[in-house]
Amino acid sequence: MEAKAMQRVALVISDEQVVQMTTINDALRELGKEALQCDVQLYTQSSSQSKLPVESSSIEFLICISRSHAYPDGSWFDEISRALKPGGTILVYKVLQAAPKETEKVIISFERQLLLAGFSDAKGVQQSTAKAKKASWKIGTSFALKKGTKAPIKLQMDDDSDLIDEDSLLTEEDLKKPQIPVGDCEISTTKKACKNCTCGRAEEEEKVKLGLTTEQLNNPQSSCGSCGLGDAFRCGTCPYKGLPPFKLGEKVSLSSNFLVADI
């Protein structure tokens, strides 16, 4: 009794009523020497049933011999997984009389179904055979996950890196605070010409006050001929009104106190 209990079992299921022994032997050879040494149990016309007459996790090798493309299906793969031991092997053996290409397509389809059913290492052994393994752990098995230790982030700077200190590029002259010249018209905060202006800003300010352009002062012209004689001879709309007499074609020169109030 103890020897019988320890005997390894290979279950053969089929949708056919009769299965030839040569077909069963060919399938066992595909599984290797261990399967050939097992106690073989045959279950025919299994496609008409919904469950296998075996206990859960009791079968080490299961061979499904079928002629139909639709057997075994998804529900039968779940039942086969229930019957197999953890790490057990399933072999789908197709007895087809179709062309090799059509048979290959059927086997590829069964490989995908085996993977979707939770089996691993699904692969085609021959043109008419697909094999896979059940996971080596039982349903409901739990185990602890090792948490990785968080190591501090370390930055390694090579001496040969291209990074340089920006401050090392500055010279002593660059570090000196710039001195603002006193009375410089260009950078003065007053935005007015300084007392001893030499940059031309004072002259430009005078032109703005008079409402004359540079061309009118440098090369004065007159359509009436009286603009250069003085205000007594100028009309009311003369642009040179208020300026001292000048000669036409010569630059109009203004005295230093020209814009100073008389009072």
Rounded to whole angstroms, how far apart are CA atoms 156 and 165? 17
What token pair was written down for 252? Answer: 């109009």
Rounded to whole angstroms, how far apart are CA atoms 228 and 236? 14
Burial-class residue 11 by CB neighbours within 10 Å (0-12, 13-18, 19+). buried
**Pair 72, 64: CB distance under 8 Å:** yes
- The single residue listed with the structure tokens 């005997």 is 7
**Pair 240, 207: CB distance under 8 Å:** no
What token pair was written down for 66? Answer: 């079928």
Tell me: is residue 64 an annotated ligand-binding position.
no
Burial-class residue 249 by CB neighbours within 10 Å (0-12, 13-18, 19+). exposed
Report the alpha-carbon angle 109-114-117, nearest 5.
Answer: 125
DSSP β-bridge partners for residue 64: 13, 92
Rounded to whole angstroms, how far apart are CA atoms 10 and 126? 20
Q: Is the dihedral of CA 205, 208, 210, 213 positive or negative?
A: positive
Tell me: is residue 38 an annotated ligand-binding position.
no
Which among 43, 104, 115, 42 has a CA at the least distance from the CA of 74?
A: 115
What token pair was written down for 122? Answer: 């699904």
What token pair was written down for 63? Answer: 């061979």
Q: Which residues are known binding-site members? A: 185, 194, 197, 199, 224, 227, 235, 238
Q: Which residues are known binding-site members for [4Fe-4S] cluster? A: 224, 227, 235, 238
Q: Which residues are known binding-site members for [2Fe-2S] cluster? A: 185, 194, 197, 199
